[in-house]
């Protein structure tokens, strides 16, 4: 895992030096709540945003941050990866992601290697950590996403994910349905989120509204 992480980061850094053409994009969002794999991260409203740099050769780097209600109140992530396609309808993505909590203890921070393959409107992916959040051991997250246009302006997203981990407290299935549209230059996403676990911070028939703006 560490060797793959080093290769991805090194290749991405080299791409910045060798490829002049790059696209920079950003985003900011306000959500009524922030759930990560079926677990509540903010306990209410969350402000988030990030920036991405995508190079013509398929490499990209980025950062994303959100308000949370633990670890000092801030999550700050960094990632680097590579995306490409096998054909017009089949694409892939692989990368490294660091979950940081700069105002909390460093022991809570962790890393993942992720990858996915998309077939038209469906995506199958994974994320693997050799030492998950708060040093709780290894974990593997598998997921399936499917998106379909309901009209010219409204789309439906369907998600299912499952986590297996050394620490049973981290294990759960999560599900969501999302309706998305755009108006007045803003993105609107209304999601229903649920999980296989009851109680605690796990989602239990939650409704989340997110308003976003691309920069």
pLDDT of residue 17: 47
pLDDT of residue 10: 53
3-class SS of residue 94:
strand
Provide the b/e sequence for 101-115 (b: ≥16 CB within 10 Å).
beebeeebbbbbbbb
Q: Is 201 exposed, middle or buried (0-12, 13-18, 19+ CB in 10 A)?
A: middle
Provide the b/e sequence for 5-42 (b: ≥16 CB within 10 Å).
beebbeebeebeeeeeebeeeeeebebbbbbbbbbbbb
CA gap 176, 194 in Å, rounded: 6
φ and ψ of 3, to 5 deg: -65, -40
pLDDT of residue 33: 98
Considering the entire predicted model, what is its pTM?
0.90
Q: Which CATH number fits domain 2-214: 2.40.160.40, 2.40.30.10, 3.90.180.10, 3.40.50.2300?
A: 2.40.160.40
Q: Which of 10, 9, 15, 98 is nearest to 54 (CA)?
A: 15
pLDDT of residue 21: 85
> What does DSSP assign to residue 202?
B
pLDDT tens-place values along the chain, 215 residues long: 554 555 455 555 554 444 458 999 999 999 999 999 999 999 999 999 999 999 999 999 999 999 999 999 999 999 999 999 999 999 999 999 999 999 999 999 999 999 999 999 999 999 999 999 999 999 999 999 999 999 999 999 999 999 999 999 999 999 999 999 999 999 999 999 999 998 899 999 999 999 999 99
Six-digit token string for 68: 């949370």
CA gap 112, 130 in Å, rounded: 8
pLDDT of residue 13: 53
Length of the chain: 215
pLDDT of residue 89: 94
CB 58, CB 85: distance < 8 Å: no
């Amino acid at each position: 895992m560490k060797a793959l992480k080093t290769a991805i980061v090194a290749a991405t850094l080299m791409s910045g030096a060798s490829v002049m053409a790059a696209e920079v994009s950003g985003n900011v969002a306000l959500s009524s709540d922030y759930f990560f794999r079926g677990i509540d991260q903010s306990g209410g409203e969350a402000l988030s945003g990030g920036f991405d740099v995508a190079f013509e050769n398929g490499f990209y780097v980025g950062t994303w941050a959100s308000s949370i209600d633990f670890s000092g109140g801030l999550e700050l992530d960094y990632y680097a990866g590579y995306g490409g396609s096998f054909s017009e309808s089949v694409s892939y993505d692989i990368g490294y992601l660091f979950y940081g909590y700069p105002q909390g203890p460093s022991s809570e921070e962790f890393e993942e290697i992720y990858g996915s393959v998309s077939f038209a409107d469906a995506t199958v992916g994974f994320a693997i950590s050799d030492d998950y959040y708060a040093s709780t051991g290894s974990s593997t997250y598998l997921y399936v996403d499917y998106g379909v246009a309901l009209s010219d302006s409204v789309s439906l997203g369907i998600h299912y994910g499952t986590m297996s981990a050394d620490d049973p407290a981290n294990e759960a299935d999560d599900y969501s349905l999302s309706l998305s549209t755009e108006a007045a230059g803003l993105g609107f996403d209304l999601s229903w989120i649920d999980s296989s676990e009851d109680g605690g911070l796990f989602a239990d028939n939650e409704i989340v509204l997110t308003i976003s703006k691309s920069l």
